[in-house]
Amino acid sequence: MSERSHPELPELPYDYDALEPHISEQVLEWHHDTHHQGYVNGLDSAEEALAEARETGETHGTQAALRSVSHNGSGHYLHTMFWDNMSPNGGGEPEGALRERIEEDFGSYEAWRQEFEEAAGYSAGGWALLVYDPVAKQLRNLAVQKHNDGALWGAHPILALDVWEHSYYFDYGPARGEFVDAFFEVIDWDDVAENFEKVSSRVE
């Protein structure tokens, strides 16, 4: 059996205070260093448990480990995208092929944003995601609870907004909508467009 690689917490692509005043330095530090690290640790522990079970044949903890891989792995991957989807030079609106595709699949940018904001208000802890569905060959919004409940098999996220309370409550209290508005001020549309190009080019 090959040696297992361990998941690692990625560095932020900008300084902790780079997204102020939209997201505070304190929230970014807590969110990245504590919460995201927790999902990395949880994924690593689950994979370690599965590796040990495969080696020893003792599978009494396998079901819990499998659930943990899904939960913590999804949390790790979505948080990684969330950091990359933002930039101190972000904001504005998408352009080019991504803009055209949003207008084609949702009718207009405004209609897409309204639906995305509804997804962001869906659950107390979860994500609003813009994904590319390679089966239907279209963009979709998803409202995902926790990290994986409400996901669509085969769909590829290209824009991820974390709406767990730890992502905004220190800055905005219960006013989640204000946080969502602030997120739009820092979206790195170049990164989202690059994600779209990567996943759509595989099937179109």
pLDDT tens, residue order, the chain (204 aa) = 567 789 999 999 999 999 999 999 999 999 999 999 999 999 999 999 999 999 999 888 999 999 999 999 999 999 999 999 999 999 999 999 999 999 999 999 999 999 999 999 987 789 999 999 999 999 999 999 999 999 999 999 999 999 999 999 999 999 999 999 999 999 999 999 999 999 998 765
Show the tokens assigned to 187.
Answer: 């979206």
Fold of 25-84: Helix Hairpins (1.10.287)
Q: Is 31 annotated as a binding residue?
A: yes
d(CA 38, CA 48): 15
Peptide bond into 157 cis (omega under 30): no
- 191 annotated among ligand-binding-site residues: no
> What was the pLDDT predicted at 122?
85
Q: Which residue, 43, 37, 52, 107, is CA-closest to 71?
A: 43
pLDDT for 199: 94
Predicted local distance difference test score (pLDDT) of residue 123? 72
Residues in Cβ contact with 66 at an 8 Å cutoff, skipping those fewer than 6 apart: 46, 50
- Taking a C-beta distance cutoff of 8 angstroms, is the pair 25, 17 a contact? yes
Domain with CATH 1.10.287.990 in the chain: 25-84
HSE, CB side, 13 Å, CA atoms: give it for residue 24.
11
Instruction: Quickly count: other Cβ atoms within 10 Å of residue 45's Cβ.
Output: 14
Q: What are the φ and ψ backbone dihedral angles of 162, each rounded to 5 degrees?
A: -80, 120
Query: Is the domain covering 96-200 a CATH 3.40.50.300 domain?
Result: no
33 marked as binding residue: no
pLDDT of res. 101? 98
The pLDDT value given to residue 2: 60
Instruction: Tell whether residue 22 is among the known ligand binding residues.
Output: no
Where do the CATH 3.55.40.20 domains begin and end in the chain? 96-200
Supply the DSSP symbol for 21.
T
Q: What is the structure's pLDDT at 203? A: 66
